[in-house]
Amino acid sequence: MGRITLDKVTKSFGAVEVIPPLDLTIEDGEFTVFVGPSGCGKSTLLRLIAGLEDVSSGQIRIDSKDATDVPPARRGLAMVFQSYALYPHMSVRKNIAFPLRMARMDRAEIDRRVEAAASVLNLTDYLDRRPGQLSGGQRQRVAIGRAIVREPAAFLFDEPLSNLDAALRVGMRLEISELHERLTTTMIYVTHDQVEAMTMADRIVVLRAGHIEQVGSPLELYRTPRNLFVAGFIGSPR
C-alpha cells in the first residue's frame, strides 16, 4: 500500500513561495521520477511528502489517510539519502538493523528482516564488515537495506547516485529498477538527470520553478512534450 496524494500543497520559505498550489497523485507501486533543473523544488517536494518539512497549506494523504500533520517516523515511508550516512563503527548488519533496534522490535524479527534485505541486495557475505571495508556501490546498498527493513509503504530517493562515479551510477540505476520490480513498492526518485528519468520511470513528473509542467510516461513525454521546456529537458526531437 503506498498511494500518495498531494492536494493543493504549497510551501513558502519566508516570503518566497517555492511550491505554488500543486496537485499530484502517485499510484501504489509506481516508480515515479521527479525531474527538473537545480533549484526547481524537487527536494522540497520530497521532504514535504516525507514530513521533513511542513506544508504551508494543502493536504498530503497516504493511502487515503490524512498524513499532513503526521510526524516523519509515523508516515510509513523510507527516505534514502544521497550521502550514505552509515555508522562507520558499526557492522553492516548493525547499520541495517539500526532503525528496527530504535523501534525496539523483537530480536528474531530484526534478524529475519536484515537477512531478507541482505539477500535481496546481495549483501549476505558482507554483513560482518564495516562500511569502510565496502565499495561505494555496496555502501549505497547498505543505505537502501536500512530502508527496506522498515517495510515502508514507499521509498523516497533524493539523487541517491550523485556521489557515485559514472560507471557505478549505471549499475546502481539497474539495481534500483530491479529492486522495484522485486518489491513492487511505490518509489519516488528525484534526479536532475534526464537519462535516469527516462530509463527508470513508470511516470515522470517534470518540475519547473515549483510547478508541474507535465506528467506522463517516458514515451508520452518523448512523443508529445507539452512545450519546449519539457521537450528540451527530455531530449525530445520536437
Binding site for Mg ion (CB under 5 A): 43
Cβ proximity of 32 and 77 under 8 Å: no
Cβ proximity of 25 and 4 under 8 Å: yes
Compute the least distance from the CB of residue 72 to ligand ADP, in Å: 16
If binding means CB under 6 A, how many residues of this protein chain bind ligand ADP? 10
Q: For residue 114, what is its C-alpha cell? A: 536484515
Distances (CA, A) of 140 to 94, 109, 135: 15, 23, 9
Residues in 26-65 that interact with ligand ADP by CB under 6 A: 36, 38-44
Which of 167, 160, 166, 113 minimizes the C-alpha distance to 141?
160
Shortest-Cβ-distance residue relative to Mg ion? 43
Between 145 and 210, whose beta carbon lies closer to ligand ADP? 210
Cβ proximity of 190 and 158 under 8 Å: yes
Count of beta carbons in the 10 Å neighbourhood of residue 45: 27
Compute the least distance from the CB of residue 19 to ligand ADP, in Å: 8
Tell me whether strands 57-62 and 31-35 are parallel, antiparallel or unpaired: unpaired
Instruction: Determine, following the binding rule CB under 6 A, whether residue 177 of this chain makes contact with ligand ADP.
Output: no
Q: Out of ligand ADP, Mg ion, none, which partner does residue 38 contact, by CB within 5 to 8 A per kind?
A: ligand ADP
Instruction: Determine, following the binding rule CB under 6 A, whether residue 13 of this chain makes contact with ligand ADP.
Output: yes
Q: Out of Mg ion, ligand ADP, none, which partner does residue 87 contact, by CB within 5 to 8 A per kind?
A: none
Q: Out of ligand ADP, Mg ion, none, which partner does residue 18 contact, by CB within 5 to 8 A per kind?
A: ligand ADP
Q: Mapping DSSP to helix (H, G, I), strand (E, B) and coil, where does residue 169 land?
A: helix
Residues of the shown chain interacting with ligand ADP in the complex, contacts defined by CB under 6 A = 13, 18, 36, 38-44
